[in-house]
Homo-oligomer: A and B are copies of this chain.
């Protein structure tokens, strides 16, 4: 096998060759993890995407599952490798296993990489992918591309390029799951900086739900949840009246996550 193509660092070629040849010994073939990593910046919900070398197209970050690693661990490693972040809210939302997700673009790429179909067989057949979504603090992320990608960057969820594989459907489903969970679970911890204002939290909710909320009712609702505490400080420097800063009450927040907030029936 000869791997020779601009954009791929020579000193890693041996490693990559081994990956194609013997990766199936270390990884479970036909199974992978993909992560929808959500961030929040300037009032917009963002998602972290990778730009593939040579394909000029984008996908979600992901990777194969090691035989000696749990699926959850794999997702955490993907998150860590792409963002530098550890110990983050990460939740499985769906396993994608339809037949039409054969990764035919990969075949093209392997072709250009001079990887024979046989050698890359364990990578090119239909792959079942387990989707996770993460909520991270935009300002703490250091985006790092993986070997196959030349760029790793944030995109507006609502204004992103069309993605490879079925990753568009994954983003949609992750967002839908997030919206549903909003009704009985808090969000914000991990997504916002440690200290934040109530209007910022409201913007986050509005970005996720895709609609405006009433300022006063929102405030009452959050207060009733009992998951935030108001600080004496205010955020100064902006125009207009200075809003109070808040901080999540982490124990109560965790409790609300675990027990849920409210139900019908």
Contacts and interface: CB of A to CB of B under 8 A. Distances in A.
Contacts of A71: 95, 97-98, 128
Interface residues of A, number: 34
Interface of A: 28-31, 65, 67-72, 92, 94-95, 97-99, 125-126, 128, 130, 180, 182-184, 205, 209, 213, 221, 261-265
Nearest to A95: B95
Contacts of A69: 99
Contacts of A94: 92
Given A30-B28, A31-B31, A209-B265, A98 B72 contact: yes
Contacts of A70: 97-99
A130 B97 CA distance: 10
Contacts of A31: 28, 30-31, 128
A31 to B, nearest CB: 6
27 contacts: A28-B30, A29-B29, A30-B31, A30-B67, A31-B31, A31-B128, A65-B97, A65-B128, A67-B125, A67-B126, A70-B97, A70-B98, A71-B95, A71-B97, A71-B98, A71-B128, A92-B95, A95-B95, A95-B130, A128-B130, A180-B184, A183-B263, A183-B264, A184-B264, A205-B265, A261-B264, A262-B264
Nearest to A99: B70
Copies of this chain, count? 2
Contact of A72 (B97, B126, B205): B97
Q: Which of A31, A94, A221 has the most CB of B within 10 A?
A: A31
A173 to B, nearest CB: 11
Contacts of A213: 265
A70 B95 CA distance: 11
A215 to B, nearest CB: 14
Contact of A28 (B29, B65, B67): B29
